[in-house]
Amino acid sequence: MSYPNLLHHGSAVRTLARRPTRPERVGHTVPEWAVVSAGLSPILLAGAWLVAGARQPSSYSPVHQTVSVLAGQAATDRWIVTAALFVVGACHFVTAAGLTGLRRSARILLAVAGASGIGIATSPEPAHGSTPQHLAWTALGAVTIAVWPAFVAQRRSPRPTILSGYGCATVTAVFLALLGWLVFETRWGGALGLAERTCLSAETTWPFIVAVALRRTTVRAPRAAD
């Protein structure tokens, strides 16, 4: 290579090296509406049981009695929690539609959890006892949302630590422990309402964490400016 060509080549290399880089979107971008729907779920549900609980007679105890009682046929203003269950179920459907970066099985399970919430709303508890339909929807929703984190784990890179195999396994173990506590309180304990509210708060917040984590990892890899 001649000396002039060598100088030209070196100048081109230096020019490319000086070019600024800008982030390149990788993977599937999570739309804002999916993040919003995921974030609304825990807020609406907690707000509903707080408002509805304040409308109940003094005999109602949020520590001992479930959220389902607030939507039951004997509750005061049962429409508050019933409406919240419908909306939260719909939010799960919307979130599942937006999380295209997840495996199909994970999105289907989240939609099943949404259907379970709507099923619970459409089969309220009677004044005394419960119904097979209500128990079936409740059990389906509790198990589905508890194991959902295991299906969220990401293998490809880049991925957030919380969505790694280890991170999702840890969250699943915590959710299963909470489910075990809930089952224990159902049979033998005296703090069923507290156990249920703790489970619901943690499990309905997790889709929001997943949506935010996936959205933030869509801007990672640098590329040269044109």
In 3D space, the residue among 84, 107, 82 whose CA is nearest the CA of residue 94 turns out to be 107
The reply to whether 226 falls in a domain is no
DSSP 173-192: HHHHHHHHHHHHHHHT-S-H
Given this model, what pLDDT does residue 22 score? 47
The reply to whether 3 falls in a domain is no
| CA gap 146, 116 in Å, rounded | 13
Lookup: tokens for 121: 């709303």
The reply to whether 40 falls in a domain is yes
pLDDT, block means (10 residues), the chain with 226 residues: 48 48 55 96 96 94 94 94 97 96 94 96 90 94 94 79 90 96 92 95 95 77 43
Helix (H, G, I), strand (E, B) or coil at 123: coil
Q: Which domain holds residue 67?
A: 29-221
The reply to whether 145 falls in a domain is yes
Given this model, what pLDDT does residue 16 score? 44
Helix (H, G, I), strand (E, B) or coil at 59: coil
Q: Which residues pair with 223 in a beta bridge?
A: 22
Given this model, what pLDDT does residue 226 score? 43
Q: How many domains is the chain partitioned into structurally?
A: 1
Question: Cβ-count burial of 73 within 10 angstroms (0-12 exposed, 13-18 middle, 19+ buried)?
Answer: exposed
Degrees to nearest 5, angle at CA 150 with 148 and 152: 75
Lookup: tokens for 112: 């099943």
Given this model, what pLDDT does residue 159 score? 73
Which residue reads 């840890």 in tokens? 170
Given this model, what pLDDT does residue 28 score? 60
The reply to whether 24 falls in a domain is no
pTM over 0.85: no
The reply to whether 20 falls in a domain is no
The reply to whether 98 falls in a domain is yes
Lookup: tokens for 206: 């997790």
| CA gap 24, 37 in Å, rounded | 26
Beta strand ranges found along the chain (DSSP E): 21-25, 219-224
Lookup: tokens for 120: 């619970």
How far out from the chain centre does Cα 108 lie? 13
The reply to whether 22 falls in a domain is no
Cβ within 8 Å of residue 99, ≥6 positions away: 30, 34, 106, 107, 110, 207, 210, 211, 214
